[in-house]
Amino acid sequence: MGHTINQQRRGFSSVKLLVIALAAGSLLSGCSSTSTNSARVVDRNAPVAKRPVTTSGQYVVRPGDTLYSIAFRYGWDYKALAARNGIAAPYTIRPGQAIRFDGRTSGPASATTTVVTTSSSPSSKTTITTRPAGTPAKPATAPVTTPVTSTPAPVVTTTAPAQVPAAERAVGGWAWPATGVLIGKFASNGSLNKGIDIAGDLGQPVFAASDGSVVYAGSGLRGYGELVIIKHSDTYVSAYGHNRRLLVREGQQVKVGQTIAEMGSTGTDRVKLHFEIRRQGKPVDPLQFLPRR
C-alpha cells in the first residue's frame, strides 16, 4: 500500500514539473515574440530644418494666420510679402484670401500653385499641389491637341542668413529671453538651427527680448509649438517657441523684460525655449545682439 502511494506521489510530482515546464516555455516564447517588435523612436528635439524661401505659388489663409506668421513660415520679410500682394498697413488678412509668392495676380484656379498646410501638429506635413502656370497663347493655326499632364516642381530659392551691419549690432535694447543653459546655437549655414535653444524648468518665465508689438501668438507653425512673434521695427522680429502657455495676445505692446509666456516642451521632447531674431525676414544669430553673460 505504501509503495503504491509513493508511486502516485512521484506521478503527481512529474505532472507538476511538466506543467511548470510547459508554462515556463510558454512565457519564454511570449517574451521572445514580444522582443522582436521594436519600438519606433522619434526624435522631436532635433533642430527644425530651414525652409527655403518660397517663390512660386500661393498660400490660402486659414483662421489664426497673420501676414507675419505666413512670412515667417515661408522665409519672407513681411513688408516684401505685403507689397507683392498689394496689402497695405496694418496688413490685415482674412481666411480664404490667397497670398501669392510669385508676383502673379489671382487668376483661374487651373493656373495656380497652391501651398496648403494641413495641420499644426508635429507629425503633420505641408502638402504642395502644383498645376501648370499660365503659358503664352498659341496661334490659331497651331491649336493644342494634347492636354498638359506634366507637373513642374515648385521653384524655390535658398538664401543665406542675413549679415547684420556692425552699426546695428552695436545698438542696445536687447536682453536675454530666459535664464538657463544654452544648449543649441545658431547654424551659420542656415540649414539647421535658425536660432538658439535655452534649457530651463517647466513654467519658468519667458521674457520679451526687446520692446515691440505681438504680431502672432498661437500654435499654427509646425515645429515651434506654442509660439510668440514680436515685431520690434520695420526691420526686426523675434520668435519664442515651445512654450507651455502664452501670456500675451496679438496686437499687444510689450516692453523688454516683460513676461510673455511660460517655458514648456510643446513641439519638442524637452523643456526649452527656442529663440530667433530675423532681420528683414532672414534668420540672424541672436548672440550678435544679446549681452554677454
Task: Look up the CATH architecture of domain 166-288.
Answer: Distorted Sandwich (2.70)
Alpha carbon distance 96, 62 (integer Å): 6
CATH 3.10.350.10 in the chain, residue ranges: 53-135+147-157
Q: Give 89 or 13, the one with higher predicted confidence.
A: 89
Residue by residue, DSSP assigns 5-31 as HHHHHHHHHHHHHHHHHHHHHHHHHHH
The burial class, CB within 10 Å (0-12 / 13-18 / 19+), for 74 is buried
Flag whether pLDDT at 47 surpasses 70. Answer: no
How confident is the prediction for the chain on average, in pLDDT?
72
pLDDT at 44: 41
Q: Quick check: 162 and 284 in contact, CB under 8 A?
A: yes
Q: In the prediction, which pLDDT does 165 show?
A: 60
Calculate what percentage of the chain has a pLDDT beyond 70.
Answer: 57
Q: How far is CA 209 from CA 25, 60, 83, 240, 246, in A?
A: 63, 31, 28, 10, 15
Q: Which of 160, 155, 261 is closest to 207 using CA atoms? A: 261
CB 273 within 8 A of CB 198: yes
Fold of 53-135+147-157: Membrane-bound Lytic Murein Transglycosylase D; Chain A (3.10.350)
pLDDT at position 274, please?
97
Choice between 270 and 41, residue whose per-residue pLDDT is larger: 270
pLDDT of residue 51: 54
Cβ neighbours, 10 Å, residue 79: 17
In which order are the strands placed within the sheet that holds 58-60?
98-100, 58-60, 113-117, 126-130
- DSSP three-state, residue 245: strand
Dist CA 140 CA 154 (whole Å) = 30
Least confident of 91-95, 99-103, 199-203, 224-228: 99-103
Length of the chain measured in residues:
293
Q: Give the pLDDT score at 191.
A: 57
Taking the C-alpha atoms of residue 157 and residue 134, their distance in angstroms, rounded to an integer, is 21
Which of 291, 275, 281, 293 has the alpha carbon at shortest distance from 208? 275
Is residue 257 pLDDT above 70, yes or no?
yes
pLDDT value of position 202:
97
What is the mean pLDDT of the segment spanning 240-251? Answer: 97
Rg of the chain over all Cα atoms, to the nearest angstrom: 29
Place of cell 513642374: 152
CA distances from 236 to 77, 121, 206, 225, 231 (A): 9, 27, 19, 21, 6
Q: Which of 124-138, 156-170, 212-226 has the lowest mean pLDDT?
A: 124-138
| Residue showing cell 521653384 | 155
| Residue from 291, 236, 244, 238 nearest 268 by CA | 244
Closest CA to 60 of 155, 127, 150, 159: 127
Residue range 38-51: average pLDDT? Answer: 41
Is the predicted pLDDT of residue 58 greater than 60, yes or no? yes
Higher pLDDT, 168 or 219: 219
Start-end of CATH 2.70.70.10 domains in the chain: 166-288
Residue pair 131/149 in contact by the 8 Å Cβ criterion: no
pLDDT tens digit string along 163-196?
566 555 545 589 999 999 999 999 866 556 889 9
